[in-house]
């Protein structure tokens, strides 16, 4: 794996910067402001995306802020320029979901992913703008999805990973009825400056317990565990070197104003005296395909690629991880060419060690 691919497998779109919640760990700098994406931005993105989608599977992920806060009419206008074969996804806090939104999801073939951190007592960080718990509102939205029989994924943030928590979480999501689950250990990034250093034995124990819970009843696609098991199987088959993609997926995030930030959505909206605004261009000025073809020339991207090579040279986990995420390096280390971060310890190194610990305990 070397360099950044010119064609992504999906794009992230920010229909509005606004979020109706104010979660304590949120990284978004502009979530209190309603800056909406104009339709010409979506038209410009679609001009590059539609040919990619006709050549193979392609997704647009509507992410915010809270994407549903843009309203159905505006979101429909933003989706309209995309070809029918483009798959649409929303990452939502679910608080606005009602029957009218479910009609919208069905009509536009939108796949829904809900952010919820587990049972009520695990959602203390998820609050409304008035600081009140958001859990009941999230559950109201989820219950409408369930009543309407719409499949959904779930994404949970875990702030303090430790033994005793993972099995409870997994059982909760089994009952919730999601078919895919992603677990994010809270990250120090964007405007979230809370620390993410943990006792590493606790983190390993968390992941090991999650594998055990999943193996007991593997009814949900559990993103992190399935990745790790695929890697472990490839190591045993002697094909681990083939697992990483040939080049990094640029994962362009299109900001509300048309700016394009590659590799890490979390960098969008920030500026730095050394790196400027992190964007590689604006779709209102140049075609997205052209911006991505030149993305490696963005100064911070070159520095990040040097960091990936440093990881390749020094880290035994590189074949699994591929060199980590740009935003974690920047927000933890202040630059892009470092290697280990708390994030990669929590979410890559201890994850793999947790899977191996589980395997050793069940030989």
Question: Which residues are within 8 A (CB) of 304 and not within 5 positions of it... i.e. 6 or more apart?
Answer: 263, 326, 329, 336, 337
| 8 in contact with ligand SF4 (CB under 6 A) | no
Kindly state the tokens that stand for 114: 């809900």
Contact flag: residue 336 with ligand SF4 (CB under 6 A): no
DSSP state for residue 37 in the 8-state scheme? P
Q: For ligand SF4, what does the binding mask look like between residues 62 and 91, x meaning CB under 6 A? A: ------------------------------
Residue of the chain from 187, 340, 342, 357 that contacts ligand SF4 (CB under 6 A): 340
Work out the burial of residue 241: count CB atoms within 10 Å of its CB; fewer than 13 is exposed, 13-18 middle, 19 or more buried: exposed
- The answer to whether residue 351 forms part of the interface with ligand SF4 (CB under 6 A) is no
Total residues contacting ligand SF4 by CB under 6 A comes to 12
| Beta carbons within 8 Å of 82's beta carbon, 6+ residues apart | 42, 46, 49, 50, 53, 60, 88
4 binds ligand SF4 (CB under 6 A): no
Q: Least distance in Å: CB of 304 to ligand SF4?
A: 11
Residue 346 DSSP label: I
If the CB atoms of residues 6 and 244 are measured against ligand SF4, the closer one turns out to be: 244
- Indicate whether 187 belongs to the interface with ligand SF4 (CB under 6 A): no
Contact 358, 173 (CB under 8 A): no
CB of 212 to ligand SF4, least distance (A): 23
Rounded CA-CA distance 118/115 in Å is 9
What secondary structure letter does DSSP report for 4? Answer: B
Minimum distance from residue 341 beta carbon to ligand SF4 (Å): 6
Residue closer to ligand SF4 (CB basis): 190 or 323: 323
SS3 221: strand
User: Is 321 a binder of ligand SF4 (CB under 6 A)?
Assistant: yes
Between 52 and 318, whose beta carbon lies closer to ligand SF4? 318
Residues in region 300-319 near ligand SF4 by CB under 6 A: 311, 315, 317-318
By CB under 6 A, residue 346 contacts ligand SF4: no
- Tell me the CA end-to-end span of the chain in Å, nearest whole number: 33
Residues forming contacts to ligand SF4 in the complex (CB under 6 A) are 311, 315, 317-318, 321, 323-324, 339-340, 344, 348-349
């Amino acid at each position: 794996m070397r360099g950044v691919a010119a064609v992504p497998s999906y794009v992230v779109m920010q229909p509005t910067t606004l979020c109706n919640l104010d979660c304590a760990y949120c990284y978004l700098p502009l979530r209190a402001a309603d800056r909406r994406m104009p339709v010409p931005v979506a038209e410009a993105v679609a001009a590059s995306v539609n040919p990619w989608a006709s050549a193979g599977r392609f997704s647009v992920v509507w992410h915010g802020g809270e994407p549903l806060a843009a309203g159905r009419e505006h979101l429909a206008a933003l989706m309209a320029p995309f070809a029918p074969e483009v798959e649409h996804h929303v990452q939502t806090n679910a608080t606005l979901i009602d029957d009218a939104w479910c009609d919208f999801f069905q009509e536009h073939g939108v796949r829904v992913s809900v952010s919820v951190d587990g049972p009520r007592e695990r959602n203390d960080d998820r609050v409304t703008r008035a600081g009140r718990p958001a859990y009941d509102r999230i559950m109201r939205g989820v219950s409408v999805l369930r009543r309407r029989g719409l499949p959904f994924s779930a994404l949970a943030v875990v702030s303090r990973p430790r033994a005793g928590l993972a099995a409870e979480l997994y059982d909760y999501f089994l009952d919730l009825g999601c078919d895919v689950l992603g677990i994010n250990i809270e990250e120090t990034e964007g405007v979230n400056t809370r620390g993410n250093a943990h006792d590493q034995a606790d983190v390993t124990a968390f992941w090991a317990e999650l594998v055990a819970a999943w193996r007991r009843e593997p009814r949900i696609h559990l993103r992190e565990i399935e990745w790790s098991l695929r890697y472990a199987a490839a190591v045993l088959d002697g094909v681990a070197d083939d697992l990483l993609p040939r080049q990094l997926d640029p994962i362009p995030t299109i900001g509300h104003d048309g700016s394009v930030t590659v590799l890490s959505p979390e960098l969008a909206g920030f500026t730095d005296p050394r790196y400027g605004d992190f964007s590689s261009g604006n779709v209102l000025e140049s075609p997205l395909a052209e911006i991505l073809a030149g993305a490696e020339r963005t100064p911070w991207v070159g520095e990040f690629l040097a960091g990936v090579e440093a990881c390749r040279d020094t880290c035994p986990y590189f074949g699994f991880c591929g060199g980590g995420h740009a935003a974690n390096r920047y927000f933890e280390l202040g630059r892009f060419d470092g290697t280990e971060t708390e994030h990669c310890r929590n979410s890559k190194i201890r994850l793999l060690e947790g899977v191996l610990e589980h395997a050793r305990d069940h030989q």
